[in-house]
Structures are given as structure tokens and as C-alpha cells.
Amino acid sequence: MNEALSELVEATAIEYGIPGVAVGVWANGQERFACHGVTSTEHPLPVDRDTLFLLGSITKTYTATAVMQLVADGRVELDAAVRHYLPELELAAEITVLHLLAHTSGLDWGLIVDTGEGDDALARYVAQVAELPVLAPPGARASYSQAGYNVAGRIVEKVTGLTYERVVLSRSCEPLGMAHTFFARDDIMTRRFAVGHNRGDDGTLSIARLWRRSRGDNPGGGMASSVADQLRWARCHLGEGGAVLSSELLQRMKEPTVALRGSNLGDAIGIGWFLRDVDGVRTFGHAGSANGQFAELLAVPDRKFAVVALANAGPNGIPFNRAVVRWALHAYLGLTERDPQPLAFAEARARELVGSYHNDVMTLVIGTTGTGLWLEVRIKPEIRAAADKELPPDHAPFDFGLLPGDTGEYIITSGAFAGQRGFFTRDPSGAIIGIDLAGRLFHRTPP
């Protein structure tokens, strides 16, 4: 099986044009690794099991665990108001700690701001969160929020009197022997680490020059780690995490808090984890993205199985990770994950969807070719103009189709995001007022 894994990883990396990848599998009580390629096309070093990749939003599982450790200590209550711990934060609604961890706070996605690299970076970020739009009353709906997790990280700081990073590294990573997991650039730059790559319109790859966002975003996505360390993290949450958190609280993190509709993220959200059934078997996991880097971790608790995939090129790192995870589920467990099939194109229904949608950071445009539907997501020009560092590139339009039933759900059918799902929202009169994509809400722009 080790040889089959290595062959699959190499062939898939070549197929998708990824410079460097690292994959790890925990199955039948054994670790297996397959690495291919290089850390950078400009200064190449071979990728190995200890090479550091940016994890993006997988970091949120560490933030959630840090909060649950404080729950175990009796220092944080999940149902307590955020302002109980952060009285200086003026919020428009009564948001609880659990709302933050379950993405039901109602806070918009987040802020694109650089608050420096000092120990006050997170405090400075959170001080601006009150400016974010509120998408819905707390608890009313799930909407993925980077800002919500950064606020949760700030609670960790206020309760402990330590920096967020110190708490996570000392209470989670060090007890598990995770010697290749870091936040600080000074720690990362002295080890072997991957840089992101983005593919231009002419098909060539270039180095992603904004390597990582600023420290204020760390709780939502600032960790760098190796595939070997991420398998340790998966094993911790599969039940080997007694040194980090009790089995009862580890299990609590994998219990549904809110159901998800029309989402490839999962069927429900636990505490820090997305939950979904694959071929009738419950899994938990999380994915993450940085500028030209993509990560995915998926675990199957009943089978004591986990797979981690890391890739250093966009946008094809997403389908690479997806293909490897699906192969591993089938090869090791006999589980097959299938995408639902969209309906045939219907022009009248398509015209109802065409238009522009927006959130604080991005604009989403839907159009029709006359025989199919497409959508395009772009960072707003004013956001790019205001940014003092390079932002990730926009993507070409994707084809998508509506799914059966009267749920308003759809699936992307082409490009790097093929298989991602979402849904349209209607008001009481039946008019479409928004669209969800990757857990983020876009409001319809008036004509």
C-alpha cells in the first residue's frame, strides 16, 4: 500500500502541476507518508515529511481546542457572552463563545488589515471587529467567519494572560511532540518550508509573494506545520489526546452544533470541526488555504483513520488534495465519495439567478451562456487598492448547475473548485436575496 500511495501522489501532483506536495495517512495503527516535488520553483529543496506548509484555516481547530482547554479548566463557559471576557469589544449583538466556534456569530467573514507582528497584533485586530457588518442574529444561521475565530483567540489571550501562540504551542503542540509546528516567521525561516505558487493566465507558475497574512489573523489561519505533525494532531482528536484534552471534551468537539445546508464543507459544524457522512460513515475534518498553499485533514473516528494532504500551488492544490483524500478513503476503507449531479439547464430559472452579489470583501457575478450558468468571484477593487501587500489572484469563471429539489442548492462543475456546493436564499416573497459559497454569504446587489 505504501508504494500505491507514493505512485498516486506523484501522478496526481504531476497531473495538476503542483511543485511540491506532502501526504500522510494513519491506518491500521501505522503512519504512511508520500512526498513529491520541491518547496519552491525558484529555490527548490525536496519536500519531506517535516517540511513546513501553511495550514490556513486548519489552524481554527487549534483555536477551538485552546478554548475547550479553558472550558476544562473552568475559566471559560461556552454559553457565556463574548463581552464577559472582552468587555472592551462593542458588539451590536449578544454573541457567545459557542457562536464564535460554530460560525453562528453573525459576524461577516473578516477584515483585511495588517496589525503588525507585535504581541498586541491580535488585540489591535479585534478592536476593529465591531466595524464588521452583522449578517444575521447570533445563532440564526451558519456563516463562515475568520473574524469570529480571531476573537476566540483573543479570549484565549485575555483569560490566560499569554499570547495566543504561546498557549497553543505549549498546551497542544508540545505535549504531542509536534516539533515542526510554528507561527513566528523567525522560527519558520530557519527550517525547510514551502512557499505558495499561483498560476497566471498563460499557465505559468509564479511565487506567491505575500507568503502569509499578518499576526492578527493567526487564530483563524496563521500556523505552519508538517504533514507528520498534522497526523499527530489528527490522532489526538481520534482519541489519543489525553495530554491535551479529556476524551469527553474531544468527543464534544465532534458533536453537531448547527446543521449545514448545501455545503461541501460538511453536513454540520461541531466545535472547530466540520462533520460529514461519506458513504454512510461519519467523518470530521477541516481544510485551509493561504496564498498559493492548500491543506486538508480528514479523519474517520470509527475506523481510527486519518489523511492529511498539503500542496503548494493554486488553484490546483484544491483538486489535488480532494483527489488524494478521496483515493485514500476508498483504498484504505472502501468508502466512495460522490458529487451530486446537477439538473439540466433551464433558461427561465437561470435568468432568475443572474446578477451581482457582494459581501464586505468580494463581489460574485452570475451569468448565463444560454446553455449553462457560470459564476465569478473577485476581490473588490477598493480592497485591492487599500491593501499594502499583494493579495491572492482572482480566478476565471466557473460553470455551475442547480441540484434537484426546491432547496436552491447548486454545485460547481468546472475548474479547481469543481464539487463545491452552496445555495441561494429567498425572502418571504420568494425573491432571491443572497447566495452562499464556501460557507460565506453574498447579498444580492440591487439592479
Q: Supply the pLDDT for residue 91.
A: 87
Count CA within 13 A, CB hemisphere, residue 324.
40
For 347-444, CATH number out of 3.40.190.10, 2.60.120.260, 3.40.50.1100, 2.40.128.50 equals 2.40.128.50
Q: Supply the pLDDT for residue 386.
A: 79
Is 432:447 a contact under the CB 8 Å cutoff? no
Q: pLDDT class for 210, splitting at 50, 70, 90?
A: confident
Domain residue extents for the chain: 1-338, 347-444
Q: What is the pLDDT of residues 320-338, one digit of tens each?
A: 999 999 999 999 999 999 9
Question: Over 70: is that where the pLDDT of 241 sits?
Answer: yes
SS3 readout for 202-249: CCCEEECCCCCCCHHHHHHHCCEECHHHHHHHHHHHHHHCCCCCCHHH
Q: Choose among 190, 196, 220: nearest CA to 208.
A: 196
Q: What homologous superfamily does CATH list for 1-338? A: DD-peptidase/beta-lactamase superfamily (3.40.710.10)
Q: pLDDT class for 46, splitting at 50, 70, 90?
A: very high
Q: Across-strand partners of 399?
A: 374
Mean pLDDT value of segment 1-15 = 95
Q: pLDDT class for 393, splitting at 50, 70, 90?
A: confident
Question: Over 90: is that where the pLDDT of 416 sits?
Answer: no
Q: Which residue has the cell 513566528?
A: 184
Q: Supply the pLDDT for residue 273.
A: 98
Taking CA atoms, 344 is separated from 4, 8, 276, 347, in Å, by 38, 33, 27, 10
Portion of the chain with pLDDT greater than 70, in percent: 99
347-444: same fold as 1-338? no
Indicate the range of 125-134, 264-273, 344-353, 390-399 predicted with least confidence.
390-399
Is 10:4 a contact under the CB 8 Å cutoff? no
Question: Over 70: is that where the pLDDT of 388 sits?
Answer: no
Question: Over 90: is that where the pLDDT of 2 sits?
Answer: no
Indicate the range of 76-80, 122-126, 130-134, 150-154 predicted with least confidence.
130-134
Q: pLDDT class for 384, splitting at 50, 70, 90?
A: confident
H-run or E-run covering 381: helix 381-386
Catalytic positions are: 57
Average model confidence (pLDDT) across the chain = 95
b (16+ CB within 10 A) / e for 197-225: bbbeeeeebebbeebbbbbbbbbbbbbbb
